A and B are shown apart, each in its own frame.
Chain A
């Protein structure tokens, strides 16, 4: 028999994680719900969700390739480099904002039914990751057009996706606290996301920057995620061991931090929902 004791000791991070694991069948249903709703049982839905990254890529390609005549070193093709950058940033932005939204807009459920809110954040980031997989279809086409192929490192894509899921879940939980407390935090975060996008080498090669700017760009953890993604899928960049470590460390650190802070503030957050 299950017993709820409000005075039972709650371990930070561990107790919420156990709760999520015990409810993994709910997690599966939530992910299925997200995907069914997004694709509405049609192929058009899949293309519809790709419209945003593809259109962004088209605009950026025109601006930077045709207007500014940007060139990558060693005559590397610009389009696969750019598209992989846009897909990576879309995964990050979408996972982060959807995770935060899932909690802020989940008030209807979260204030009536006992369910760990972290499950909602997870379902959002996992469905963004699946969405990202669909984005690999046009990227693969572009790679093949430019005479490249995904490469033998492709299985390592799973490591990249796992790290990105941990990162966006942790950050999304932190952002959810802001979303619930401050109505205007949504518009502010968009400015930060835009700044972050420019600080990540999405449409420029790092080597084109001065030594000081390069240091700043390397301090941005997302740079390492993007470099790893480009390395493992299509070989559009070479990720250093330092970048792999940066990705692994920041994902786990942010995830644990997000779970810790969110778990501690949840009683106050739920009262405000």
Chain B
């Protein structure tokens, strides 16, 4: 049974020591060291966060700006290793976080699909066979062989979305539900996201839109300054969040 748990997070903590004045030059560090003025403080981006997400579940993470929501997604995406606690993720992960990171404007659409897909951890041989289908879905087949610096920003976003959503992962990480491109494409991308969410994979969704939480999430988690304030049924968590905002 426990293998149905795609994500197991136990006491996830991400703390780092940072200088109080955010020094970022050698010169300033040298001066401050001589004057013994460097003050360090421990900063907790996440503090003792525990939760699980099973196959088919959608966990919505809510909270104010800087509460650690995006940091939590990055921990699940294996970008940031927790400083203590433990995260277990079983299966493949599709991070839909700022799509198109790694796109190079000088490369063609096809080359960018290859590079981006491989960066996302997919097999490059399989990617080769998927280029046409991805371009077709993004409606960019005719523009596949020109450098994407000639694309409009909407076209780049379509290419990124189509590449990122080409596979159905075991765990889908969403930082705000995306709507890119023109109206027609927005509708199609929303439908595709909903389709992925409903495909039975586990979903962790970060959003400020509480309507989305109510309509899509099966559970919710409310973060405040890196700590868990509430978790459980979406409505209860939203109520707790609202109570704090007041």
Q: Once the chains bind, are B79 and A111 in contact (CB under 8 Å)?
A: yes
Q: Once the chains bind, are A37 and B107 in contact (CB under 8 Å)?
A: yes
CA distance A37 to B125 in the complex (A): 22
CA distance A184 to B31 in the complex (A): 14
Centre residue among A5, A112, A115, A188 by max chain B CB count within 10 A:
A112
Is A141 an interface residue, CB under 8 A from the partner?
no
With a cutoff of 8 Å between Cβ atoms, the chain B residues found around residue A270 in the complex are 79-80
CA distance A184 to B125 in the complex (A): 42
Is B55 an interface residue, CB under 8 A from the partner?
no
Given A111-B79, A112-B98, A268-B16, A2-B26 contact (CB < 8 Å): no
With a cutoff of 8 Å between Cβ atoms, the chain A residues found around residue B125 in the complex are 25
CA distance A221 to B97 in the complex (A): 44
Is B154 an interface residue, CB under 8 A from the partner?
no
23 A-B pairs with C-beta separation under 8 A = A1-B170, A4-B78, A4-B88, A4-B89, A5-B87, A5-B88, A6-B86, A7-B86, A25-B123, A30-B115, A36-B107, A37-B107, A108-B101, A112-B77, A113-B120, A114-B93, A114-B121, A182-B25, A184-B27, A188-B26, A267-B80, A271-B14, A271-B80
Q: Once the chains bind, are B102 and A113 in contact (CB under 8 Å)?
A: yes
CA distance A107 to B48 in the complex (A): 26
With a cutoff of 8 Å between Cβ atoms, the chain B residues found around residue A37 in the complex are 104, 106-107
Interface size on B, residues (CB 8 A): 45
CA distance A158 to B123 in the complex (A): 30
B127 to chain A, nearest CB (A): 9
Set A1, A40, A111, A182: member contacting B74, Cβ < 8 A: A111
Set B16, B83, B118: member contacting A25, Cβ < 8 A: B118
- State the B residues within 8 Å of A (CB): 14, 16, 24-27, 29, 45, 74-75, 77-83, 85-93, 95, 97-98, 101-102, 104, 106-107, 111, 114-115, 118-121, 123-125, 170
Q: Once the chains bind, are A3 and B25 in contact (CB under 8 Å)?
A: no
Question: Could you tell me which residues of chain A, from 123 to 174, have a CB within 8 Å of some CB in chain B?
Answer: none
With a cutoff of 8 Å between Cβ atoms, the chain A residues found around residue B29 in the complex are 182
Give the interface size bracket for A toward B.
20 to 34
Q: Once the chains bind, are B25 and A184 in contact (CB under 8 Å)?
A: yes
Set A25, A114, A182: member contacting B78, Cβ < 8 A: A114
When C-beta atoms are compared, the residue in chain A nearest to B88 turns out to be A5
When C-beta atoms are compared, the residue in chain B nearest to A3 turns out to be B90
Q: Once the chains bind, are A1 and B86 in contact (CB under 8 Å)?
A: no
Q: Once the chains bind, are B114 and A29 in contact (CB under 8 Å)?
A: yes
Q: Once the chains bind, are B88 and A26 in contact (CB under 8 Å)?
A: no
Q: Once the chains bind, are B118 and A267 in contact (CB under 8 Å)?
A: no
With a cutoff of 8 Å between Cβ atoms, the chain A residues found around residue B120 in the complex are 113
Is A15 an interface residue, CB under 8 A from the partner?
no
Q: Encode contact with B along A33-48: 1 for CB under 8 Å, 0 otherwise.
A: 1001100100000000
A46 to chain B, nearest CB (A): 16
Q: Once the chains bind, are B27 and A267 in contact (CB under 8 Å)?
A: no
Is A183 an interface residue, CB under 8 A from the partner?
yes
CA distance A226 to B226 in the complex (A): 53
CA distance A17 to B90 in the complex (A): 23
CA distance A267 to B84 in the complex (A): 12
CA distance A268 to B45 in the complex (A): 13
Question: Could you tell me which residues of chain A, from 223 to 268, have a CB within 8 Å of some CB in chain B?
Answer: 267-268
With a cutoff of 8 Å between Cβ atoms, the chain B residues found around residue A188 in the complex are 26
Q: Once the chains bind, are A184 and B26 in contact (CB under 8 Å)?
A: yes
A179 to chain B, nearest CB (A): 11
Centre residue among A4, A185, A270 by max chain B CB count within 10 A:
A4
Is A109 an interface residue, CB under 8 A from the partner?
yes
